[in-house]
Amino acid sequence: MPTCQSCQTTWSYKEAMKAMWTLDPVKTCPHCGARQHISKKGRQRSILVTLFVPLVLLGNIFFDWSVGTAFLWLALAAVLSILLTPYTMDLSSEEEPLF
């Protein structure tokens, strides 16, 4: 779970999910109001979790699933990706370049 770099408070799952769904790249700490950014490491981890969804589509090639089964696996992978993303968030007080 993300931890604020200013007040060292760990965000709850609900607070992390709420921050994840905002389009603003700057996240505001719900405890101290400090401006936080998702760190380079946190963005890289969330990309890896998100890449799990297209890998499920490759499973259709190797296992020759029916359309219904492929859709079910894709939906499950998407839901798991969304639910696991708050655990990959890592906060930084300064904006870091991705590469």
Q: Give residue-wise pLDDT tens across range 7-41.
A: 888 889 988 888 888 777 788 888 888 888 888 88
The confidence score (pLDDT) of residue 52 equals 78
pLDDT, tens digit, for every residue of 56-91?
777 777 777 777 887 888 888 888 888 888 888 888
50 in a structural domain:
yes
The confidence score (pLDDT) of residue 69 equals 80
The confidence score (pLDDT) of residue 49 equals 82
> Which residues, 6 or more positions from 4, have their beta carbon under 8 angstroms from its beta carbon?
10, 11, 29, 31, 32, 34, 36, 91
61: which DSSP letter?
H
Contact in structure between 53 and 78 (CB atoms under 8 Å): yes
The confidence score (pLDDT) of residue 82 equals 85
98 in a structural domain:
no
Contact in structure between 37 and 25 (CB atoms under 8 Å): yes
Based on the structure, what is the number of domains in the chain?
A: 1
Rounded Cα gap, residues 9 and 29, in angstroms: 9
Summarize the confidence of residues 37-57 as an average pLDDT.
82
pTM of the model: 0.68
> Which residues, 6 or more positions from 97, have their beta carbon under 8 angstroms from its beta carbon?
40
In the chain, the amino acid numbered 15 is: E
What residues make up the domain containing 44?
13-92
25 in a structural domain:
yes
45 in a structural domain:
yes
The confidence score (pLDDT) of residue 71 equals 83
